């Protein structure tokens, strides 16, 4: 039989504050205020003969269930909630930009494998498609798992990055640029420009054409022909803008939480 | 015990009235209400703060952090708009109250 773990008031308060902080509606100022309230109500409970643990439980219960408190704060602090949502959405768009060239790479590798090892022509066309869908399925399942286990190392990493928004934005930007270059290096997307689009395209060609079309829509510029370097640089402008937007949103949230400290 | 809905509806005028007597902080406000209402109003204390923040956003009250006995406290103070709002709210509550009282009077049957 193991002895019950001793109760530490300071640790309990820190943990309580951390679980409240999981909502973007509660920034540092509100957390300070609620913690101050909790700390104010504990001494009189202890003086009335309760143990530290009992006093903590009653005081935190009086403040209310964490979910309910977060819900009430979200009602009056909508802009903070939306700022947080928007920064996650932008991060999602940026991540897509990393994944698109990577999936191009997967498609390329799969088509090489198919060319060498599969004799039946129609099967050869299916393999790259299957590779893409497989990759996407794996990514979606991984993302769902990460989201479900909220305290995973990855979410901790994201939270830490959010406290250094400029660094995070620069890092993401470099990652995107690197992934984009890698994708382009391995798989020459310019083959599927609208003008050279084959009259009777195969399924992978159609799929690839649509992919390039979306890629062009997202990045705005096609960096393949004249003025290649200028165009390539311009191609990153939307991504840089997104990264900057994330940095600004992150900074604003930081400024809010630091305002009273 | 007064219902949750009624407590929610009356929080703003009650807070305005208390701050009208002098500046105060969240913990003290909840204590005052509980004592003066003799336990009739029991609320989740955490719910007071979003209301205070909303009132601050609306310009009814203003706040300031102070350190007292090694403890950080956020003090709230009523503003001119808050005083105006309090006056208006009192009239509304009086009107409702007198309506309720009138309706509860035994009805005189006129033949």
Contact residues on chain B for A21, CB-CB shorter than 8 A? none
Identify the burial level of A28 via C-beta atoms within 10 angstroms of its C-beta, where 0-12 means exposed, 13-18 middle and 19 or more buried: middle
Of A136-140, A163-167, B43-47, the one with minimum mean pLDDT is A163-167
Alpha carbon of A40: minimum distance to chain B alpha carbons (Å): 7
Span A7-23, average pLDDT: 87
**Does B82 contact chain A (CB < 8 Å)?**
no
| Spatial CA neighbour of B14 closest among B38, B30, B3 | B30
Non-local (6+) Cβ contacts of B26 within 8 A are A33, A36, A37, B45, B48, B49, B52, B74, B76
* Shortest Cα–Cα distance, A30 to chain B (Å): 8
Arithmetic mean of pLDDT over chain A: 71
Burial of A26 (0-12, 13-18, 19+ CB in 10 A): buried
* CA–CA separation, A153 and A173 (whole Å): 22
Q: Which of A135-139, A167-171, A208-212 has the lowest mean pLDDT?
A: A208-212
Structural domains of chain B in order of their starting residue, each with its CATH number:
4-102 (1.10.10.10)
* Contact state of A68 with B71 under an 8 Å Cβ cutoff: no
Q: Determine which of B34, B45, B76 to mutate to test the interface with A (most A C-beta atoms within 10 Å).
A: B45
pLDDT classification of A76: cutoffs 50, 70, 90: confident
What pTM, to 2 d.p., does this model score?
0.59
Distance (Å) from the alpha carbon of B55 to chain A's nearest alpha carbon: 10
What is residue A55's predicted lDDT score, i.e. its pLDDT? Answer: 93
Measured between CB atoms, does A78 come within 8 Å of chain B?
A: no
What's the token pair of residue A6?
């001793």
pLDDT digits (tens, 9 = 90+) for A163-196: 666 677 677 667 666 666 665 555 444 444 544 5
pLDDT at B22 over 80: yes
Q: How many Cα atoms are found within 13 Å in the side-chain-facing hemisphere of A87?
A: 26
């Amino acid at each position: 039989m193991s002895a019950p773990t001793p109760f530490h008031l300071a640790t309990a308060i820190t943990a309580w504050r951390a679980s409240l902080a999981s909502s973007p509606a509660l920034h540092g100022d509100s957390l300070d205020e609620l913690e101050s309230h909790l700390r104010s109500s504990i001494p009189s409970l202890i003086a009335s003969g309760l143990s530290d643990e009992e006093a903590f439980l009653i005081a935190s219960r009086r403040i209310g269930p964490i979910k309910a408190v977060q819900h009430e704060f979200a009602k009056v602090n909508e802009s903070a909630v939306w700022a947080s949502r928007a920064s996650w959405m932008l991060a999602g768009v940026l991540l897509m930009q990393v994944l698109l060239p990577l999936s191009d790479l997967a498609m390329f590798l799969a088509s090489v494998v198919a060319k060498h090892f599969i004799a039946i022509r129609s099967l050869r066309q299916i393999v790259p498609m299957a590779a893409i869908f497989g990759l996407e399925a794996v990514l979606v399942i991984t993302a769902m798992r990460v989201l479900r286990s909220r305290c995973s190392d990855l979410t901790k990493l994201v939270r830490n990055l959010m406290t250094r928004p400029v660094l995070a934005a620069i890092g993401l930007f470099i990652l995107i640029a690197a992934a984009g270059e890698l994708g382009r290096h391995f798989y020459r997307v310019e083959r599927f420009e609208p003008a050279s689009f084959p009259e009777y395209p195969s399924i992978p060609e159609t799929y690839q054409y649509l992919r390039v079309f979306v890629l062009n829509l997202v990045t705005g510029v096609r960096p393949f022909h004249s003025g290649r370097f200028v165009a390539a640089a311009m191609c990153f402008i939307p991504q840089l803008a997104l990264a900057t937007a994330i940095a600004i949103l992150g900074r604003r949230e930081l400024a809010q939480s630091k305002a009273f400290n | 015990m007064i219902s949750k809905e009624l407590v929610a509806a009356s929080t703003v005028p009650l807070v305005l009235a208390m701050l009208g007597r002098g500046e105060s902080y969240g913990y003290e406000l909840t204590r005052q209400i509980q004592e003066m209402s003799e336990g009739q109003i029991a609320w989740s204390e955490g719910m007071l703060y979003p209301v205070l923040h909303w009132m601050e956003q609306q310009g009814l009250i203003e706040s300031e952090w102070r350190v007292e006995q090694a403890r950080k406290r956020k003090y709230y103070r009523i503003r001119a708009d808050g005083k105006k709002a309090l006056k208006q709210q009192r009239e509304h509550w009086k009107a409702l109250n007198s309506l309720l009282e009138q309706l509860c009077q035994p009805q005189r049957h006129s033949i």
